[in-house]
Amino acid sequence: MADAKVGWVGIGVMGKSMCGHLLKSGYPVSLTTRTREKASELLAAGAAWCATPKDVAQRSDIVFSMVGFPSEVEEVYFGADGILAGARAGSLVCDMSTSDPSTAIRIHEAARARSVASLDAPVSGGDVGAREARLAIMIGGEKRAFDRALPLFQKMGETIALMGGPGAGQHTKMANQIAIAGTMIGTIESLLYAKTAGLGMDAVIDIIGKGAAASWSLNNLGRRIAKGDFAPGFYIKHFVKDMGIALQESRRMKLSLPGLALVNQFYVAAQGQGLENLGTQGLFKVLAAMSGFQA
């Protein structure tokens, strides 16, 4: 696959770095995104611009997509100018968006009808993991397609696993987001407690971040909270979307997840306060305000 022609659809907070790793590794890249300006650095580095996802697919052996919402996944795959309209027989499409498992299965079935392989491969690790190529990549699909794409995944992440058939990657990402939801509320309440008690948040993280309370959220997003940095490594609006998918899948499986439902309400409140474009650590602002603090 070293000489594979790569396509990329969607240049966002994480997609820009992920696509950049492939470009730096020598893969010829054709790309498109809604706002061309977001791709300016990649274009300057040698990527080729395409007008539509269909055009990207027509020029590529393997197409990666990473967009924000399931509705956008639908558009970039099933639209008249979508990836599947242009994908050539024998090519591979790989959606790295976080979307619902049923859409991943639909993409797989539609791709197979065109003699195209497919994978669903959402990621975890945020903007830092994307920049440093340390993402966890959880994949659903057939092993032959996984083996074919693995050398490219290894340019973007360091923990990579085939979790099962089509949709299994998305189900794994839901498990990931459920765990993060609970961890984030614990991180924020812990730091709010520390602040109220007159402790330095960084000093608290230095200690508890190396003990039983250690977590990625505490040691990474907690540091951002301590600095008053609420810029998005992962948007609140996207996390609300992910929790919605997880709650929907839970209802379908007749599974009760009260902790997730509670955290979801706090993040919906953040949206209601106009904070949806902050990073997920922006939840600190919501709970601080409830306690009478200005974050």
Digit-coded pLDDT (tens) for 238-271: 999 999 999 999 999 999 999 999 999 999 999 9
- What gap in Å lies between CA 232 and CA 279, rounded to an integer? 4
79 DSSP assignment: S
Pull the structure tokens for residue 134.
């340390």
**pLDDT > 80? residue 59:** yes
Q: Which of 76, 255, 65, 232 is nearest to 171 (CA)?
A: 255
Q: How much is the pLDDT for 2?
A: 57
Q: Which of 227, 214, 159 is nearest to 183 (CA)?
A: 214
Give the containing element (helix H, strand E) for 243: helix 236-252
**pLDDT > 90? residue 291:** no
Average pLDDT score over residue span 73-93: 97
Tell me if residue 173 is catalytic. yes
Digit-coded pLDDT (tens) for 201-221: 999 999 999 999 999 999 999
Q: How much is the pLDDT for 292?
A: 80
Task: Enumerate residues 6+ apart whose C-beta is below 8 A from 144.
Answer: 117
Poorest-confidence range of 19-28, 228-237, 286-295? 286-295
Q: Which of 293, 291, 286 is nearest to 262 (CA)?
A: 286
**Mean pLDDT score of the chain, rounded to an integer?**
95
- What gap in Å lies between CA 116 and CA 102, rounded to an integer? 18
Average pLDDT score over residue span 76-101: 97
- Domains along the sequence of the chain with CATH: 6-166 (3.40.50.720), 171-290 (1.10.1040.10)
Average pLDDT score over residue span 131-153: 97
Q: Which of 38, 143, 155, 173 is catalytic?
A: 173
**pLDDT > 60? residue 1:** no
- What gap in Å lies between CA 264 and CA 47, rounded to an integer? 39
How would you label 89-99 residue by residue, b for 16+ Cβ within 10 Å and e otherwise?
eebbbbbbbbb
Q: How much is the pLDDT for 13?
A: 85
**pLDDT > 90? residue 3:** no
Give the amino acid at 55. Answer: D
Average pLDDT score over residue span 179-198: 95
Pull the structure tokens for residue 176.
């990931």
Rg (CA), the chain: 20
- What gap in Å lies between CA 56 and CA 88, rounded to an integer? 11
Average pLDDT score over residue span 64-89: 96
